[in-house]
Each structure stands twice: as C-alpha cells, then as structure tokens.
Amino acid sequence: MPASDFTQQEYAARLEKNRAAMARQGIETLLVADPSNMAWLTGYDGWSFYVPQMVILPSKGSPLWWGRTQDKAGAAQTTWLDPADLFDWPEEHVQHPEHHPVESLVALLRERGWTDALGVEMDNYYYSAASHRILEQAFGPEALHDATGLVNWQRAVKSDTELEMMRKAGKLTAHMHATLRENYREGVPKNELVAQVQAAGIAGLPGLAGDYPAIAPIAPSGREASASHITWNDRPLVRGEATYFEISGCFRRYHCPASRTLFLGEPPADIRRAEAAVLTAIDDALAIARPGVTCEEVAACVYDSFARAGYVKGNRTGYPIGLSYPPDWGERTMSLRPGDTTPLQENMSFHLMPGLWTPDWGLAITESFVVTPSGGQPLAEIPREMVVRAG
C-alpha cells in the first residue's frame, strides 16, 4: 500500500486524531506494533510482521519507523516518512537466543528522551510478552500505559478514498463469488475450487489487481460447516451438503468480505428456513444502520429474525472492517452484539455476519456495508440467495 495512495493532508489528519486520543489517555509516546495501524499512520507495507517492528508516534514531530535492517528499504519505498526517520535493529538479532531487537528500541527511546508515558498495544497479536518485559525492565512498569485499540478506534470512520478502495475490494469479492458459482460442481475437490477462487481474487479484473487477503478462505461443507472457521480440504463436493464460502477481495490492503452458501441437491426445509431468516435479518439490519443507531440495535435485527424462525444465535453478528493484515480483517474495536452501545457514525464500515451454526450444518450469508444517512449500503454486489445446483 504505497503512501502515495493518500494525500499528505489525510495522513496529517490521522496523526492529529491519534495525538488527541493519546493526550486523553496521558500517553506522550505511542509504540504501534500492529501492522494495520502502522500502515494506516505511515503507509508502511511489507510481510515483515513476523519480527518486531513498530511505528513510534511522539506527541510532537514526525513519527519514526523502527524495524529489521532487511526491511528498511521497504519502509523507504512505501512510507511517506523522511529517510532520517527510519531506524533499524541489528540484523544479527533475528531470532537470536541471547539478544532481542527491542533492546535497540530501548536505546532509541532513551536517545530521544522518550522514557515515560509510553503507550503499548498490550493485547495485540504482534506485541510479544518478551517485548513488554524488556520495556518494563528498562523504564519501569509505571512508564507503560495500555494503548490497545487506540489507533484502531481512530480508523473507524473511513475517508472517501478508503471507501473507494473498499468498493474496489468489493468488486474483487464479487468476481471471486462469480468464479465460485460457475465452478461449483459435484465431485470437484474443494482444494481445486478454492484455488480457482483465490486465483480470481489475485488476478483480479482489467485495471484492478488483487492482493492477498488477511484471512484464508473459510469453506466448510456438511457437518464441517457446524464449525465456523474451518478452511478447506481435498474432499470432493457431494450432494446433500451445504458449503459456505467466507472470502474477500483485497485492494491496497483494504477488504470487503462476504459469505455465500451453496447447496448440491435439494436443500432440506430447516436450511431453507434458516436462509429465509438470514435474508430477512440482512434486510432489517441494513435498513436501520444509520448514524446514531447503536451497534446492539443493529444486532437486534438479526437476533429477532432468527428468534421468529425458531433459531438462537449465541455469537456476535458483525464487526468493523477496513485495512488489515493477517490473521484478521476485523478492526478489533466495536461489535454488532447485545450490550455494545457504540453509536454508528456515517462512513463506518462493517461486516454483517448473520450466520447460523447447528450441530449438523452451517449457513452463512453475510454483507459488508458502509453506514449512510439512509441505512447500510453494501460495498459489493453479490446475489444473496443460496446457490442451489442439482449436481
């Protein structure tokens, strides 16, 4: 995701929002380890999140990029930062048994005088216990503040440019689902079908190239689909089973996930009843997803539709989406579920997930949408009804 995809004014506004949030939490220097947050602040893009790396955001002045020497050239190519603000840790410290890269981060922070009121993303995939221990030993536990989600919340309302990228991702998602519908046949090994779908998402469309998504295709069949996050296997598709595919196109690291369910043969009455409940839930939820409505009010549309059909849904039914890296395309802030009273704002974007999982089968038809004054607007055009094929 080159930094040139956005104007410098947009990056400046992002920094301003984050610094205001830092001030409210008493944080003077923010250490950002989440690659999605790093990219959102600076444009940095690279498959380097398996080693320690951070964007350091002080209360004043330019952010710094800190990472592995091998990745410094990538930072120079993808961020808007000045080369003087790119710092690397010793290459020989890669997975070294006696040295840790964060030791060099400590030295950098001391050199700058940033040794107090440090914000760290404690509950984050990319910030390790070892990293925290080294920072705590260097500066004391009182110097470290939990800044989990601080940047994530600033990303919730999308800019027009971000929404344009998500709609492009949606075109890729629609292309992937069209490929799925065209090639879904009895006897086709599922790994072959998944390969075709992934190839479609990456090859893209004329003038619209795809990127790798943050989540691998979710594609369970039959009883497998009673588990919500099974990927795929080499078992041929058979009659009498529902298969749902949760997939997403990806453009410039922006996502637009969507699930659809396919059935070989004649669907039984309970699956048809579930499909009707899901389709009603989507219509009802999108109709009220306007600014000022709360997350739990949107979720209630889903739970109420399921209850009328005789089903109980025990998990959340949606989450915010946008820019992301593996292992998740969610933004990890609010959720569409009971008890979340966060009010929606215009240009927030969500993945609405009214899936149903029973002990014997699963059905998922989902929609990514943006909040508008007239309700939730889908970010992709994909037929929602279950795809039924005789064989």
Among candidate residues 88, 122, 154, the one where a domain is terminated: 154
Determine the pLDDT at residue 187: 96
Asked if 133 and 176 sit in the same domain, the reply is no
Asked if 110 and 78 sit in the same domain, the reply is yes
Determine the pLDDT at residue 3: 65
What does each C-alpha distance from 360 to 197, 267, 342, 365 come to in angstroms? 26, 13, 35, 17
Asked if 145 and 233 sit in the same domain, the reply is no
Asked if 112 and 168 sit in the same domain, the reply is no
Determine the pLDDT at residue 391: 64
Determine the pLDDT at residue 228: 85
Q: Residue 207: which CATH number?
A: 3.90.230.10
Among candidate residues 123, 154, 185, the one where a domain is terminated: 154
Asked if 70 and 192 sit in the same domain, the reply is no
Asked if 284 and 317 sit in the same domain, the reply is yes
Determine the pLDDT at residue 2: 64
Determine the pLDDT at residue 1: 56
Whose tokens are 């749902």? That residue is 244
pTM of this structure: 0.96
Q: Residue 72: which CATH number?
A: 3.40.350.10
Asked if 191 and 131 sit in the same domain, the reply is no
Q: Nearest 5 degrees, angle CA 120-CA 108-CA 81?
A: 80
- The phi, psi pair for 357, rounded to 5°, reads -130, 120
Determine the pLDDT at residue 179: 98
If one counts the domains in the chain, the total is 2
Asked if 145 and 60 sit in the same domain, the reply is yes
Asked if 85 and 221 sit in the same domain, the reply is no
Among candidate residues 132, 154, 176, the one where a domain is terminated: 154
SS (H, E, C) 16-28: HHHHHHHHHCCCC
Asked if 199 and 281 sit in the same domain, the reply is yes
Q: pLDDT in tens for each of the 391 residues of the chain?
A: 566 799 999 999 999 999 999 999 999 999 999 999 999 999 999 999 999 999 999 999 999 999 999 999 999 999 999 999 999 999 889 888 889 999 999 999 999 999 999 999 999 999 999 999 999 999 999 999 999 999 999 999 999 999 999 999 999 999 999 999 999 999 999 999 999 999 999 999 999 999 999 999 999 999 999 988 999 999 999 999 999 999 999 999 999 999 999 999 999 999 999 999 999 999 999 999 999 999 999 999 999 999 999 998 889 999 999 999 999 999 999 999 999 999 999 999 999 999 999 999 999 999 999 999 999 999 999 999 999 998 6
Cβ(322)–Cβ(155) below 8 Å: yes
Domain limits at 188?
Answer: 160-389
Asked if 189 and 333 sit in the same domain, the reply is yes
- The phi, psi pair for 350, rounded to 5°, reads -135, 155
What does R_g of the chain's alpha carbons equal in angstroms?
A: 22
Asked if 93 and 140 sit in the same domain, the reply is yes
